[in-house]
C-alpha cells in the first residue's frame, strides 16, 4: 500500500514537472512576443514622432511662404485681407 502511494506520488510529480515545463515554455514564448510587440510599438512611435516633426517642418510658415511666392501667379494667390474675414463672418451669422 505504501509503495503504491510512493509510486503514485512519483508519477504525479513527474507529470507536474512536465506541466510546469510546458507552462513556462508558453510564458517564455508569450513574453518574447510581447517584447517584440513593445519594440515595434516603440519604433513605430519613434517613426511617428519623426514624421510629425517632418510635417511641422514642411508646413512651417517660412516654407509655406516660399511655396506661395513660387506659385503665386499660377494659383492666383493674394495675401489675406481684412475684407475677406468680414465676408466669412457674415456668412457664419447667416447660417
Partner 1 sequence: MGRIFKNKLRKAKVIAGDDLVHLFAPEKIDLDNDLLNTNILQVSRERVHLAKFFFIFIFAIFIIRSTTLAIFPGEVLSEPRKVVSKTIRNPLPEIFDRNDKLLATTVKTKRASIRNPVNPEETARLIKAVLPSWDEGRLIKKLQKRSYVELADNISDIEYYDILNSGVAEVEFHPVWRRIYTNQELASHIIGYSGRDLVGLSGIEKTITKSELLQEDIKLSIDITVQFHLESEIQKGIELYNADSGFGIIIDAKSGEIIASASLPTFDPNRISQNYSKDKIKESTFNQVMQGSYELGSVMKIMTLAMALEEDEIKLDDVFDDTVCIKISKNRCLNNYRNQSAETLITPVDCLVKSSNRCMAQIAQIVGRSKQQSFLQEVGLLDEYFLEIHETGIPILPKKWSDNSMITISFGQGLSVVPLSFASGVASIVNGGYMIQPTLYRQTKNDLRGRSIISEDVSEKIRYAMRQVVIKGSGSKANVPGYAVIGKTGTADIPCNGSYGGCGNRTAFVGAFPGWDPQYILLVSFERPKTNIKEGVNGNSSYWNAGPAAGAIIKLTAPLLSVEYDKAREIEYPSSTKHIKQFSRENL
Q: How far is the CB of 71 from partner 1 (least distance, A)?
A: 18
Kindly state whether residue 7 participates in binding partner 1, applying the rule CB under 8 A.
no
Q: Which CA distances in Å does 86 have to 13, 64, 78, 83, 94?
A: 85, 24, 16, 5, 13
Binders of partner 1 among 20-49, rule CB under 8 A?
20, 23-24, 27, 35, 38, 41-42, 45-46, 49
Q: How far is the CB of 74 from partner 1 (least distance, A)?
A: 22
Q: Nearer to partner 1 by C-beta: 19 or 33? A: 19
Hey, what's the cell of 15?
A: 507529470
Across the chain, where does the E strand assignment appear?
A: none
Q: How far is the CB of 42 from partner 1 (least distance, A)?
A: 6
Cβ contact 84:78 at 8 Å: no
d(CA 3, CA 28): 37
Q: Nearer to partner 1 by C-beta: 23 or 77? A: 23
Kindly state whether residue 56 participates in binding partner 1, applying the rule CB under 8 A.
yes
Amino acid at each position: 500500500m505504501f509503495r503504491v502511494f510512493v509510486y503514485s506520488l512519483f508519477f504525479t510529480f513527474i507529470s507536474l514537472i512536465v506541466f510546469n515545463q510546458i507552462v513556462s515554455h508558453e510564458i517564455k514564448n508569450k513574453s518574447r512576443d510581447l517584447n517584440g510587440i513593445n519594440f515595434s510599438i516603440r519604433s513605430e512611435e519613434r517613426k511617428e514622432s519623426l514624421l510629425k516633426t517632418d510635417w511641422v517642418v514642411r508646413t512651417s510658415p517660412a516654407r509655406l511662404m516660399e511655396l506661395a511666392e513660387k506659385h503665386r501667379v499660377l494659383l492666383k494667390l493674394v495675401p489675406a485681407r481684412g475684407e475677406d474675414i468680414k465676408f466669412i463672418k457674415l456668412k457664419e451669422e447667416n447660417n
